[in-house]
């Protein structure tokens, strides 16, 4: 820590000491709309829907992914577990019911523009809009219990330059004014879409997604999205289109994780790192000693664990805003008691 930061710490500590014994009329700060919504979600006993890649089990809806994506036991061999399996399990270990909607990889618009032929870069935008329409239809028809929230770990990143290209340089967008400019951006999106579409694949995707998010909101279903892991160089457009954005904190809960996007659309932060441990019967993700993923799902190469890590109990580390979002209702995952102090330190 440099001299300037030390000085600020001493000033803060001295101020706290000098105010000891004084009486003040402190009032609770007004919660933001997002914070009020999150509080209602966390109090709700309704299920949460996770839309993501599911490999460990047959999902409640959608398709099971055939891809082995994650090395959750730390032996450097992928297990029968995908991204969405961990996201759903994080919600479950926090005491909530999860409905899994499985998706498969597809070629995105960006892949097509960049000449990528293989379907390995994410979920296709056209598939996503079909899925969201299907969820909305199932909720309306009673084929899916109305959830407290839908969790989307999917990220469609866009830079400020890209947003200017779509919505106009005159908006003078920055990461700090996206929230205040959000209504104007949506108004321009609606104007460009018109009656017959915009003629641009990306803008059409933005428009349809916003319409779906608003239709779900009218059903009292909130969309929770990961802020993204672009080091604040980009914004997850899903947060701009109506999803509540969740950024990631470091494990000490006092700092925003260096990989996490930060912008005015992201006001909710949760710990986004999980260290797994081998326990009898499988792997534990939250340190309570229980097997959250069972042995049959694991590669179980303990020899590699011993060779590379010198222990049979070591697991793996997973981190990202896509794991902070499902950690939304964990009371031990929010900003720590010293977070306010670190805000004094640039």
Q: Check residue 89 and give its pLDDT.
A: 96
Using CA atoms, how far apart are residues 142 and 56, in angstroms rounded to an integer? 26
Q: What is the pLDDT of residue 105?
A: 77
3.20.20, 3.30.420, 3.40.50, 3.30.70: which CATH number matches 46-276+321-342?
A: 3.40.50
Domain ranges of the chain: 46-276+321-342
CA count, 13 A, side-chain hemisphere, 4: 3
- Low-confidence residues of the chain: pLDDT under 70: 1-29, 68, 106-122, 300-315, 337-346
d(CA 101, CA 68): 17
Listing DSSP states for 52-87 in one string gives E---SS--SEE----------SSSSS--S--HHHHH
For position 107, what pLDDT does the model report?
A: 59
Pairing state of beta strands 273-279 and 266-271? Answer: unpaired
pTM: 0.84
Tell me 222's DSSP state. E
| Pairing state between β 149-152 and 235-236 | unpaired
Evaluate whether 247 touches 319 at the Cβ level (below 8 Å).
no
Q: How far apart, in whole angstroms, are the C-alpha atoms of residue 84 and residue 66?
A: 13
Q: Name the β-bridge partners of 100.
A: 50
**pLDDT at position 75:** 80
Chain centroid to CA 334: how far? 14
Strand duo 273-279 + 244-249: pairing: unpaired
Residue for token digits 């892991």? 229
Residue 24: the pLDDT is 43
Around 36, how many Cα atoms within 13 Å sit in the side-chain half-sphere? 5
**Chain segment 117-153, per-residue pLDDT in tens:** 444 446 788 899 999 999 999 999 999 999 999 999 8
């Amino acid at each position: 820590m440099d001299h300037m930061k030390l000085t600020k710490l001493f000033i803060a500590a001295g101020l706290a000491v000098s105010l000891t014994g004084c009486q003040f009329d402190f009032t609770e700060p007004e919660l933001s709309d997002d914070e009020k919504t999150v509080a209602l979600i966390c109090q709700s006993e309704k299920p949460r829907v996770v839309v993501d890649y599911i490999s460990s089990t047959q999902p409640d809806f959608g398709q099971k992914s055939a891809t082995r994506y994650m090395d959750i036991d730390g032996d450097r061999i992928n297990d029968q577990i995908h991204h969405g399996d961990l996201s759903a399990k994080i919600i479950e270990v926090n005491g909530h019911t999860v409905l899994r909607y499985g998706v498969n990889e597809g070629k995105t618009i960006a892949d097509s523009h960049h000449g990528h032929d293989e379907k390995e870069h994410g979920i296709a935008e056209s598939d996503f809009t079909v899925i969201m329409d299907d969820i909305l239809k199932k909720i309306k028809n009673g084929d899916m219990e109305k959830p407290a929230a839908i969790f989307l770990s999917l990220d469609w990143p866009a830079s400020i330059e890209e947003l200017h290209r779509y919505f106009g340089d005159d908006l003078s967008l920055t990461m700090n004014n996206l929230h205040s400019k959000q209504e104007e951006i949506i108004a321009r999106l609606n104007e460009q879409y018109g009656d017959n579409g915009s003629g641009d694949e990306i803008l059409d995707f933005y428009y349809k997604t916003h319409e779906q998010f608003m239709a779900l909101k009218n059903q009292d279903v909130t969309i929770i999205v990961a802020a993204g892991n672009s080091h604040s160089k980009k914004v997850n457009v899903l947060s701009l289109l109506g999803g509540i954005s969740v950024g990631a904190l470091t494990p000490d809960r006092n700092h925003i994780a260096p990989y996490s996007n930060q912008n005015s659309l992201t006001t909710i932060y949760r710990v986004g790192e999980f260290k797994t441990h081998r326990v009898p019967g499988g792997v534990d993700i939250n340190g309570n000693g229980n097997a959250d993923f069972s042995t049959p799902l694991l590669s179980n190469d303990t020899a590699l664990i011993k060779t590379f890590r010198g222990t049979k109990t070591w697991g793996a580390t997973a981190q990202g805003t896509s794991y902070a979002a499902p950690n939304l209702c964990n009371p031990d995952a929010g900003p720590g008691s010293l977070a306010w102090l670190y805000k004094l330190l640039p």
